[in-house]
Structure formats: C-alpha cells, structure tokens
Chain A
Amino acid sequence: MTLDLQQRRSERPAAAGRPRRAGRAVPPWWFTAPALLLFAFVVLIPSARGVYYAFTDWDGLDPNFAFIGLDNFIAMADDPDALQAIWHTLLVAIAITVIQNGVGLLLALGVNTTIKSRNVLRVLLFAPAMIAQIVTAYLWRNLLGPDGAVNSLLAGIGLESWQQNWLGDPDLALWMIVLVVVWQYAGYSMVIFIAGLQSIPQEIYEAAAIDGTGPVRRFWSVTRPLLAPALTINLMLSIIGGLKLFDQVYGMTGGGPGHATDTISTLIYKDAFTLGEFGYSIALAVVLTAIVTVVSAAQYTGLSRNEKAAT
C-alpha cells in the first residue's frame, strides 16, 4: 500500500531520453526548520537588532531611544580605552595564535615519535583544554601573585632578582594572559597536529630517507606542506578564540591594572553592565564582528591558496 502511494506520488512523465531514477527523493526543506528557528531566535535576529542598536543611544532598559547615526563610532575614535582594547585584542589574538601553534607543533613532533611515554603525554598535555577557562584564570591569578608559586619557584632556584608582580605590572600583565591561554591550549593544537602528522603516509618519509634528505629538509619539504590542513584548522580556531577573549581577562586581571589588559569583550561587558551604555557597547561588538569577519575571510582565502599550493 505504501509502496503504491510512493510510486503514484512520483509518477511524473520522465524527461525524454533520461531514465528516471527511483529513490532519488530529496529530504524536504522543513527538516531544517527546528534548527533554523532556534538559530534565528538566538543568533540571527539578536545580531541584526544589535547592528541597528549600534546606531542608537539605547541604555538597555528604556524602550524609547533615539537613532544617533555614527555618533557611537565617532565617540569610540576619541575613547582611549576603546582604542586600547581594540589594540590589545589584536595583539593578544596574534600572539596567542603564533605561540600556541608553535608550541603545539613542537609538542606534536615530540610526542608523535617512538618514545614510551607518548600516550600518557598526549592525555596529560591535552587535559588543560578540558578545564573551564575561568577556573584556569583564577588558578593562575594566584600562581602569578606577589607571593605566588611562580615567584617562590624563582626564589627556589636562586633567581630572586627575576621576581615580578606579574599581573600588577601593566607592561607584563597582557603577556601573562597570553601565557595562560598558551598553557591551556597548546595541547589542543598538538592533538590536531598529531592527527595531521599521522595522516602522512610513512612511505614518503622512507623514500625521502633513501634519497638521503636530512631531518630538517624532510620536515620542510614533506611534513610542512602535508600539515597544511591541520594548520588551517589550528590557525582558524586560535585566532577567532583569541579575538573573543573574555574569561581569562575577567578572572586574572579584570581588565586591569587600569585598562592595561582590557579586550573588546571585557569592555563590552563593562560598558553595558556597569555603565549602562548598551548602544555604545554594541557598537564595540559591531567593531569586533567586523574584525572577526575580515580576519576569517583573509585566512580562508590565504590558507586555501596555501593548501592548494601545497598539494
């Protein structure tokens, strides 16, 4: 019976000369409806409203607010805190991306060998990525404090002169945040690099060895190009994560001392929830969106070209 219905439903005159394939039923569009509804309610509609609010003086509560054109953005150009936060965001994102992936790659090359501890190391080095970022931030806030473990360790190895107020020094604090992100996610990068390394056929290395290439040359000419897909994923994840950085800053320094470690995300939070400047805060979020979009697009075109060139 069902079979009858099915056939009747699909009985259209077949195009001349093209045999109709049975069973080529495309699933209907309404399968996407539940996902679309949730996504629209949570992301799409609020984001669109956000872009509109960025051009208003909305305070988050008052239903009456005025359209003020580009005033929020003009104010931003004169706001040293905002400009500093944008600069910090870019600096931190780039620093995290370079250092985290550099360390991650070195770890991957070290772990992906015949050493006996490789499995234990892989599990241990990846573990920090499982922990909540805010928890890591509080842990390191203590470790880097004046009487914290880092200074105690320096004293223990006779380097008292190296002791610093790591998070209280405006020139150092931002780099400490980078250090903590790298500590937490280097193992994450490592795991993705290991997956990339393991997908490289051994025969290629054997052939290269027979040809008498040294280890450096082998890395440069064989490993590097074949790691391109893993590198793409890693760069994407770390730079976008770095641009949105919030938890570490909130937990370690609260954006201080002064505004020395504020990022766009922490400033958005402060301006909206402590100053009530929702419109201005959303304008900052629009700037962040623009930065993320430009960076993603640039990465996508640059890296896909790189991957094509490599293969």
Chain B
Amino acid sequence: MKRYTPRTFALEMLMIAVAVVFAFPVYVLINLAFRAPSDTSSPITPTSSPTLDNFVGAWQEAGLGGALINSLVVTTVSVLIVLAVSALAAYPLARSTAHWSRGIFLLIMLGLILPFQLASLPLYQTIRDLGLLGSVGSLILFYSGLQVPFTTFLYAGFLRALPRDFEEAATIDGCGPFTAFRYVILPMLKPITVTALVLNAVSVWNDFFTPLLYLSGSDQQTMPVAIAGFVGQFVSDWNLIFAALLISIIPVLAVYLALQRSIINGFAGGLKG
C-alpha cells in the first residue's frame, strides 16, 4: 500500500491527464478573457499579446462593483441569520421528545422536499405587494427562511450526538435555558457551524433564480444576475463576457483556495452525517 510502484506512477499519470481535461474549460476562459476582440485565432492557441482591456470594459459596463457589494451583504446577513435561528431551533428539537417537538421537526423537514419553485410565484406576489421587489432586503428575508430546514437538520443531527452533561451541569448551577444555550451549547456546535456556514454561503452566493425574479428591472443586482444581464447585452462579445465571468469567479476561488481544507472537510463531514 505504501510503496510507490510503477503501477502507482501509471495511475498518477492517468489522474493528471483527467485533471487536465477537467481544467481545459478554465484554460480557455482565461485565454480568451485576456485576448483582444480583433484577434480571431483559434480559442485553444495561447493568446499572443494579452491585454487587460476586457476586464476594464467589463468592470465599467456590467456594474460588477455594486453587484459584488450586494452579494456580500446578502450572503453575510442571511447566512448569519439562518445560522442563529436554526441553531436555536435545533436545541429544543434535539432535546425534547414531546409531541410538539416531533411535530415542529417534521414540519421543518418538509421544507427539505418542497421545491422552492412552488413557493416562488406566490411569494413573488407577496414581496411585490409589500413593495420589496428590487431590494436586497427581500433576498435576505428569502434566504433566511429558505435555508432553515437544511441548517436545522444539520444542527439537530449534531446536537443529538452531543452529551447532555454540560448543559445539565449549567442548569444545576442556575443557568436559564437561553444562557445554557449561549455559553455552553453554542461553543460546542463550532464544527457543524463551519460546515453549515460553508454550505449556506456557497448556495446563497451562487443562487440565480430568485434574484432573477426579485431584482429584474431594478438597478440592484447580485453577481449572478449582473452577469446574466451583461451576457444579454453583449451577446457575442465573448472576450468581454469571459472577462466578466472571470471577475465573478475570482473572489469565490480566492476564498476557496485560502480555506480549501476546512471547506472540503466541511462539505464531506457535515453531509456524511
């Protein structure tokens, strides 16, 4: 198992070849983003005289700066809200066996199955009647509710495996349930909080359907919506479009590469359950 045999070497070469195939689209993306539109050589030949013009153009035309800030605000606020309310809700749901607890848990788990397409049109009407269309507030509200079932499911599963001794000790010492939650439970939830944070942040940041509905026609955009609008405007200006795509990917990949270990382990660990 531990030795590096010729067979291991052959496997290594094969896997690297597979990785090259997987990376090929990204190579083309970078290659064309740095290429002047006048250069019509094949997309797979390396660009002879790279230029930054496309990035300047895309940044000015697509409103990516504002979209980036909106995406940051929406993701940060809604993920913080959803982590707080879900952790708090999971505590009694994991500890009580009463009928109300089972009932509420099943009700919330129903949300894991319901596709949001069903809720999206009636909710669109409600948001419109409240005058919230075109505001990032509506998106924060939306994700804070949408992500509750999955996050509560993660927290409840983790809490059920935690011993009760600590919170019982705290209660004997005179802590109320909320104080016990805040100072005893919450610190112990840290591993699953990392997982829930990563999973929620990725899905909120990249979500497209809802902001397409709620923000279309307004000047407020999130990153995916700004990109879609830009593509609609510059249909065949692929060098410009690719520069915009690359700008939108860079922050995500930077965070990913910086935290890759905890992100990958968070994904796997939380989902293996």
Interface string of B114-145 (1 = CB under 8 A from A): 11111111111110000000000000011011
Is B25's CB under 8 angstroms from A139's CB? yes
Interface string of B5-36 (1 = CB under 8 A from A): 00010011011101100111100110010000
Also in contact, A46 and B171, with CB within 8 A (given A26-B92, A135-B224, A191-B264): no
Also in contact, A115 and B11, with CB within 8 A (given A22-B172, A44-B111): yes
Task: Report the Cα distance A170→B267, complex, angstroms.
Answer: 36
Is B86's CB under 8 angstroms from A35's CB? yes
Q: Which residue of B lies closest to A293 (CB)?
A: B113
B85-132 with Cβ < 8 A to chain A = 85-86, 88-89, 91-93, 95-96, 98, 100-101, 104, 107-108, 110-111, 113-126
Also in contact, A195 and B269, with CB within 8 A (given A110-B18, A288-B115): yes
Q: Which residue of A lies closest to B206 (CB)?
A: A132
Is B169's CB under 8 angstroms from A23's CB? yes
Task: Report the Cα distance A175→B183, complex, angstroms.
Answer: 52
Q: A19 → chain B, closest Cβ, in Å?
A: 14
Is B248's CB under 8 angstroms from A27's CB? no
Kindly state whether residue A123 has any CB partner on chain B within 8 Å.
yes
Q: Tally A-B pairs: CB < 8 A.
A: 292
Task: Report the Cα distance A22→B170, complex, angstroms.
Answer: 11
> Which residues does chain B contribute within 8 Å of A162, judged by CB atoms?
none
Task: Report the Cα distance A156→B45, complex, angstroms.
Answer: 10
Q: Which residue of B lies closest to A2 (CB)?
A: B174
Select B208's contact among A3, A247, A268, A278, beta carbons within 8 Å.
A247
Is B252's CB under 8 angstroms from A192's CB? no
A147-200 with Cβ < 8 A to chain B = 147-149, 152-153, 155-156, 183, 187-188, 191-192, 194-196, 199
> Which residues does chain B contribute within 8 Å of A135, judged by CB atoms?
224, 227, 245, 248-249
Is A138's CB under 8 angstroms from B241's CB? yes
Kindly state whether residue A140 has any CB partner on chain B within 8 Å.
yes
Number of interface residues of B (CB under 8 A): 106
What are 12 A-B interface contacts by the 8 Å CB criterion?
Answer: A26-B95, A31-B88, A32-B104, A43-B119, A46-B126, A47-B122, A50-B122, A114-B1, A114-B2, A133-B206, A134-B208, A286-B118
12 new A-B pairs (CB below 8 Å) besides A27-B95, A31-B181, A128-B22? A22-B171, A35-B148, A42-B144, A111-B15, A114-B4, A123-B257, A132-B224, A139-B242, A152-B44, A155-B42, A251-B231, A282-B118
Which residues of A line the B interface, CB within 8 A?
Answer: 2-3, 6, 21-29, 31-32, 34-36, 38-47, 49-51, 53, 60, 107, 110-111, 113-117, 121-135, 138-140, 142-143, 147-149, 152-153, 155-156, 183, 187-188, 191-192, 194-196, 199, 202, 229-230, 233, 237, 243-244, 246-247, 250-251, 264-265, 268-269, 272-273, 278, 281-282, 285-286, 288-289, 292-293, 296
Which residues of B line the A interface, CB within 8 A?
Answer: 1-4, 8, 11-12, 14-16, 18-19, 22-25, 28-29, 32, 42-44, 81-82, 84-86, 88-89, 91-93, 95-96, 98, 100-101, 104, 107-108, 110-111, 113-126, 141-142, 144-146, 148-149, 152, 167-174, 177-178, 180-181, 202, 205-206, 208-209, 213, 223-224, 227-228, 231, 238, 241-242, 245, 248-249, 252-253, 256-257, 260, 263-264, 267-269, 271-273
3 nearest interchain CB pairs? A42-B145, A195-B268, A23-B168
